[in-house]
Amino acid sequence: MARLRLVPVLIAGVAALSPLAASAQVVTDHLVGKYAATDDGCREGAAEFEIRRGVIDGPALHCILGAVNDHVAGGTEAYEARCRQGEEVHFGTLSFDLSAKDDHTRINLPETADWITLYPCK
């Protein structure tokens, strides 16, 4: 009989946590698109990157974005991420510098100090 009483409590607990889980989802819709590592409008042969909802793909690069990291300076967005770069896998915070978003976006991969500048394809 105790198990039957526990089920409604568990259902209520899951329902109460659902808004928190939804708010932690990756929201990169404003970045979705194709990008190049050079400012040439993505002409043929240029290294292309693609940002999809929660994923970044590029030459020898694949990142899966997780929860939003709220501890970042203005003009920057950060996400917990797992990135494969060549044979290496990095876990940690991936940052987007959006301070010049109309012209370019910069990303900083987990466990690195280098920024990659991406220019939107035209």
Task: Report the pLDDT value the prediction gives residue 13, as an integer from 0 to 100.
Answer: 39
Cβ-based burial of 39 (10 A; exposed 0-12, middle 13-18, buried ≥19)? middle
What values do phi and psi take at 116, rounded to 5? -105, 125
Fold classification of 25-120 (topology level): Lipocalin (2.40.128)
Q: What is the pLDDT along the chain (122 residues), one digit of tens a residue?
A: 454 444 443 344 333 333 333 334 566 788 999 999 888 878 876 778 999 999 999 999 999 999 988 766 678 899 999 999 999 999 999 999 988 888 999 999 999 888 999 999 87
Pick from 93, 86, 98, 96: which is nearest to 112 by CA? Answer: 93
- C-alpha 79/C-alpha 72 separation (Å) is 10
Domain range annotation of the chain: 25-120
Give tens-digit pLDDT for 54-71.
Answer: 999 999 999 999 998 876
